[in-house]
């Protein structure tokens, strides 16, 4: 079964189908999604499959929406402050947008954010609260994206250590949800050291080496280690901690009589520094 099929079935079976009760008159629900959930839903489900589960309308959480006070709302959102704030706003006025809320977080909700939600006026209108552990977008049968365009900038910017820490923790959680979705509990391998001079001669001329005073035949320790390599190790440790938490909740994850333990390999862009430079002008 492909990754897109697995995610599509999980969205239908764990989010939509349990709230579809045709025997009780076939009540309709509204599906409210944020950016990540919309991309995930569009990649893995067809609209008629969603409608077959009693969904009458799919709306963007971040856009202005018309009140539908007679129907339930299914929220498929990321556990971020922005999304939770939008959710609470829907039930904070004198006239709520929906009858009640069934909230499905794409991944584990931080304790502080959960406390904020539980103290909000929206709390008494929430009938369901669940984490489905799908925080990525399948692009193809064996290709996915974490949809994190800011990561590259933060990874190589020493001026943003705090933002990088938050970003790595978020990425680790997303990677862990991929493993949980596939039922894998992998061994983690990350790059710990690389000799920079194995790469530089491929993209820098010998004249430039001489100009900089570098000897390409000499392995200089100060240039052999790179900051991003250390971040690979940090990310590996974060992923390991997240996977251990999932394993504690689901002890059978990654096990099977004929199943070999999978390998998760973490490398950075510098592992293949030449490919981004290969284009029609080179």
List pLDDT tens digits, range 206-223.
555 555 555 555 544 444
Asked if 113 and 84 touch (Cβ cutoff 8 Å), the reply is yes
Percent pLDDT > 70 in the chain is 82
Can you say whether the dihedral through the CA atoms of 19, 21, 24, 30 is positive or negative? positive
Would you place residue 196 in the very low, low, confident or very high pLDDT band (cuts 50, 70, 90)?
very low
Q: What is the pLDDT, as a whole number, of residue 19?
A: 92
Would you place residue 158 in the very low, low, confident or very high pLDDT band (cuts 50, 70, 90)?
low
Other Cβ atoms within 10 Å of 217 Cβ, number: 8
Percent pLDDT > 90 in the chain is 58
- 234 phi and psi angles, rounded to 5 deg: -60, -45
Lowest mean pLDDT among 22-36, 142-156, 214-228: 214-228
The Cα–Cα gap between 234 and 193 comes to 13
Q: What is the pLDDT, as a whole number, of residue 270?
A: 73
- 140 phi and psi angles, rounded to 5 deg: -140, -170
Residue 160: CA atoms inside 13 Å, Cβ hemisphere, count?
Answer: 13
In the predicted structure, residue 280 carries a pLDDT above the cut 80:
no
165 or 106: which carries more pLDDT confidence?
Answer: 106
Give the largest CA-CA distance in the chain.
80
DSSP, res 98: B
pLDDT digit string, tens, across residues 69-90: 999 999 999 999 999 999 999 9
Which one, of 34, 263, 4, 36, lies nearest residue 139 by Cα?
Answer: 4
Q: What is the pLDDT, as a whole number, of residue 193?
A: 55
The Cα–Cα gap between 11 and 180 comes to 14
E strands present in the chain:
29-33, 55-60, 72-77, 101-105, 126-131, 137-140, 143-145, 187-190, 263-266
Q: What is the pLDDT, as a whole number, of residue 94?
A: 77
Q: In what helix (H) or strand (E) does residue 230 lie, and over which residues does it extend?
A: helix 227-249
* Overall average pLDDT of the 28-53 stretch: 94
Which one, of 95, 126, 92, lies nearest residue 109 by Cα?
Answer: 126
Written in H, E and C, the secondary structure of 47-81 is HHHHHCCCEEEEEECCCCCCCECCCEEEEEECCCH
């Amino acid at each position: 079964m492909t990754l897109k099929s697995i995610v599509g079935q999980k969205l239908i079976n764990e989010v939509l189908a349990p709230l579809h009760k045709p025997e009780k008159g076939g009540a309709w629900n509204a599906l409210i999604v944020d950016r990540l959930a919309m991309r995930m839903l569009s990649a893995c489900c067809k609209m008629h499959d969603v409608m077959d589960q009693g969904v009458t309308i799919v709306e963007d959480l971040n856009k202005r929406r018309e009140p539908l006070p007679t129907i339930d709302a299914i929220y498929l959102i990321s556990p971020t402050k922005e999304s939770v704030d939008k959710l609470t706003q829907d039930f904070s006025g004198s006239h709520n947008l929906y009858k009640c809320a069934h909230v499905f977080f794409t991944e584990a909700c931080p304790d502080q954010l959960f406390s904020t939600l539980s103290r909000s006026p929206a709390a008494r209108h929430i009938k369901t609260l669940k984490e489905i552990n799908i925080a990525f977008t399948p692009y193809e049968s064996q290709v996915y994206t974490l949809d994190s365009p800011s990561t590259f900038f933060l990874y190589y910017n020493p001026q943003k250590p705090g933002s990088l820490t938050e970003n790595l923790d978020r990425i680790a959680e997303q990677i862990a949800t991929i493993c949980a979705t596939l039922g894998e509990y992998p061994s983690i391998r990350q790059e710990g050291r690389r000799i920079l001079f194995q790469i530089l001669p491929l993209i820098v001329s010998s004249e430039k080496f001489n100009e900089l005073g570098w000897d390409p035949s000499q392995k200089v320790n100060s240039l052999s280690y790179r900051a991003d390599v250390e971040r690979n190790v940090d990310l590996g440790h974060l992923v390991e901690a997240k996977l251990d938490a999932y394993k504690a909740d689901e002890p059978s994850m990654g096990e099977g009589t004929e199943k070999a333990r999978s390998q998760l390999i973490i490398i950075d862009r510098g592992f293949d520094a030449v490919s981004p430079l290969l284009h029609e002008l080179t």
